[in-house]
Copies of this chain bind each other. A is one copy, B any other.
Amino acid sequence: MPEVDWRGRRVYVSAVLIRTAEVQDWPRIYPFFTAIVAAGETYAYPEGLSLEEARSWWMEQPPGRTVVAVVGDALLGSAKMGPNRPGRGAHVATGSFMVDPAHQGRGVGRKLGEYLVGWAREAGYHGIQFNAVVETNTAAVRLWQSLGFRIIGTVPEAFNHPRRGLVGLHVMFQRL
């Protein structure tokens, strides 16, 4: 299924299907969710959450949505999306993304990001905000920029990176 991009890397993009996550997907998301949180480089979630405890951090209820990226039987990544705030802020969407480290760098994150933008536009959101993009996660920052997001501001030293110490968190936004 994987193809090769112009740099000779295997890419999954054209074969990736994004679909709504089902209850039975969660045990397959949880292993890379917990690995990514434990690595500590990209998300300020509590560490050490059990399968049950972590579920509500990732599996969204309507009007939000959680999706998975699959190629055949393989589950490569997941994204969650929904209103960034309730009430008078509910016209702005937000989203979070995790790609299984075994499948990173092959376009899955981009596919999930494109899905988010399309979903939010179709659902009538006015814009999309990311509240906390770790500034040292330059692959993500560049990806979001290429999808139309810009950095609104950076909260200094707001994330405790395991190797780099206190680094900034970008607030990113795009108007739809």
Contact = CB atoms under 8 A, between A and B. Distances in A.
A84 B89 CA distance: 18
Contact of A152 (B126, B166, B171): B171
Contacts of A44: 85-90
A160 interface: yes
A155 B152 contact: yes
A40 B88 CA distance: 7
- Copy total for this chain: 2
Interface residues of A, number: 37
B155 A45 contact: no
Interface stretch (A26-34, A62-70, A106-114, A127-135): A127-135
Contacts of A3: none
Given A43-B87, A43-B88, 13 more contacts: A40-B88, A44-B89, A44-B90, A46-B86, A47-B87, A85-B158, A88-B160, A89-B160, A151-B153, A152-B155, A153-B153, A156-B173, A157-B175
